[in-house]
Every structure is written in C-alpha cells, then in structure tokens.
Chains A and B, each alone.
Chain A
C-alpha cells in the first residue's frame, strides 16, 4: 500500500486522541495515521504509558483509612440529631440484621445513644490504650487483638477496668481479608471500628472515637451522624456481600482467622 498523506499530528492532538477527547471523525483520522506510521505509533505508545502510570499515582491514598479530623470537619457544627445516624441504612446493615436480628438494632441504638453528649476524658488510662489502635496494626498485647481473635460477634469481651469490647459482625472483604466490625466501651464512651486480618496481623481500617480531647488543636466535637456515615463508607469499600453466621464465625475463630 502506498504511503498515505496525512495531516501533521501534533502531540496535543495525539494526546487528546489517547484521552478519548477527539470528535469521532478526527479520532478516526488519527487512528488511521497511527496505523500507517510506526514513528507516530511509538510516540502514541509512550504517551499512553505515561497516562497509565499517572493514573496509578497515589492510588494507595484511596485505600487509607479516612483521618478522623477530616470526618470531624465534615460533621462539625452540624447539630446532627440522633435520627440522622439511624436514618442511614446500608445493605451491610440489613444483611447483618438478617444474621443477628436482635443484636443489630440494639447495637446501633447503643452506639447512637452513647455518642450523644459524651466526651473523652484525659485519656491517660488503660482505656486510652485501647484507642491507640487508630489506623494501624493492632499489637497482640492490645486487648482488642484478643477480642477480635477469640470473641464471637455480639458477645462481650471484658478488657479490664470495666472496659468492654463487643465484636459486632464478621465478614470477608472484597480483597479476601477477614474483617470484623467492633465497638469499644471504655470510660462510658463508645468507639466503633473495623479491623481486618492479613498475614497474621489485625489492622484497623477505621476507628471512630466518641469525642476528642479539647486540648488537641485538631479536636472536634463529633455529632452522632458522622460515625454512621464514615463507617458506612469504609464498610461499603470492603463489603463483599455477606456477614458470617455464628457457625462460620466459630470455625474461623478456631483456625485463628486463617484460610
């Protein structure tokens, strides 16, 4: 085939073509030119590869737990009322309710109730130690580790000093990890969170405290609404469709949440 005469394809046009931003007619012309011109094809390939790399830039940020100060900023001064927290229902909640019908309603009500009007103390106690699982690996010495590892959902784990950890439900995440939603009741405050296990480590995906210390300049006064919404976003990102029933969960506990 004789070489075809093409208009000059500059980088702007080539890039717009690669990004799907050219009108159909123009797009066809560029495509034809790429087919006919090895040099142009190579340029296109390099520019496409750059876009592919850039598209992955900082992608891990999407999987990071949301910092509490950002969630706090969203719900700051919202005057959210308890009803707002209860209004938010998700498939995860409904499926959870199918599995543990009584406990579901009770636990949501408990969290909402406990979040109202309660503030953290100075945090210097053992209870504070429980909270230090915030977004990271939960060390084996942390009572939370033991509770996640051994306590069936909806059963209380006594963590000492009157603190109670309540695993809420268990499920397998979209990425295959075993995950558990839990509550920590410490010093009459309730925190809720989700942790997932991989390679032998429990890692906190999100931990929402009932309040923060006023001395902290990043502090916020959470309303009841934020917890539910933030938790739902995290659960949504992990949720693969079904919570484990009591029998499956028991089997997982027996084999230490390993495959």
Chain B
C-alpha cells in the first residue's frame, strides 16, 4: 500500500529536520554515535505514532519532544553512565580543512564541553533555547515544564557557563 501525499510530506519534513535533530542529539549526548542512535530511535518512534501528531502543529517541537523523552528514558536506564567526552569532535576540530583554529573556535569547543557537563535538565534547555534558538514557551511545551522553571533553570545554566567560560567576573 502506498503512502498518501500528506504522509509523504511529513516524511519529507522529517528529513529536513534531521540536521537540527542531530545537533540536538549531539548536544544532549555529547557524541556522534549515541546522537545518531538517538535520532534514529526518535524517527522510528515518530513514524510509529504519526497518528498522535496533530497536523498543523509544529513538527519540530513534536520531534524534539520525542527525542528528549527517549534520551531521558535512556539516561534513567543507564544512571551510572555520564556523558561521554567526544573524541570525534576533537578530531573534527583539528582536521577542519587544515584551517587555523581561531580563538572563537576554541571558546565554542569549551562551551560544548561546559554544556555537556551541565545537569541533564539544564542541558536540554540550553540545547533547545540557546543552541537551537527556540522560545521559552516552545521549550516549556517540549519539555513539559512550567515557564518559571524554564527561566530558573536557564539562569542557573547560564551562570555556570559564564563562570567556566569567562573567568574573572563576579
């Protein structure tokens, strides 16, 4: 049986979301392999439960929510396992077309490591709001937490990151 047009469209839209989902996954998991496992699971889960997605609502929010929920499940099942430091990313830094690593790139890499070290509930918010650029409200809906919680967690995360990345203040 073939897909109807709207289902084809949804699948095309999911393909278009893959880069953002992979970046979200990378921010959550800290490494490429776990990230792609996570994104693959999220895609499979989404396609199985396409009926639960309300057409007309944002597909990206829905996919982020599925990804986030799968990641939380994974973390609960592996409570002892911390986020792994990503050798592949260090590699990608050094091999970046042989171009010089600028000071900014070093700072960004430090930011990635500092984000990876945040408590999980702060990290997912940073991933959604600071890395992906979603609004507080969208993040609150994706994570299922109140706006006030979004603000307080983001504030804690930002202060931690500032202390680690920009020493000298406060």
Contacts and interface: CB of A to CB of B under 8 A. Distances in A.
> Does A associate with B in a complex?
yes
Interface of A: 10-12, 15-16, 19, 21, 42-43, 46-47, 49-51, 53-64, 66-67, 69-71, 73-81, 84, 87-88, 198-199, 225-226, 229-230, 233
Interface of B: 1-3, 7-8, 11-12, 14-16, 18-20, 22-23, 26-27, 36, 39-40, 43-44, 47, 89, 92, 96-98, 104, 107-108, 110-112, 115, 126, 129-131, 133, 135-136, 151-152, 154-155, 158-159, 161-162, 165-166, 169-170
A40 B165 CA distance: 19
Nearest to B23: A61
Contact of A80 (B3, B36, B155, B170): B3
Given A50-B162, A70-B18, A70-B36, A58 B26 contact: yes
A47 B158 contact: yes
Contacts of A199: 97-98
A11 B163 CA distance: 13
Nearest to A14: B155
Given A50-B161, A70-B43, A84 B16 contact: no
A16 B151 contact: yes
B11 A74 contact: yes
Contacts of A51: 130, 158
A56 B135 contact: no
A53 B40 contact: no
Given A58-B112, A69-B40, A78 B169 contact: no
A61 B126 contact: no
Contacts of B7: 78
A81 B22 CA distance: 28
A19 B155 contact: no
A124 B154 CA distance: 52
Contacts of A79: 1-3
Contacts of B155: 10-12, 15
Contacts of B47: 73-74, 76-77
A54 B166 contact: no
A225 B131 CA distance: 31
A208 B19 CA distance: 17
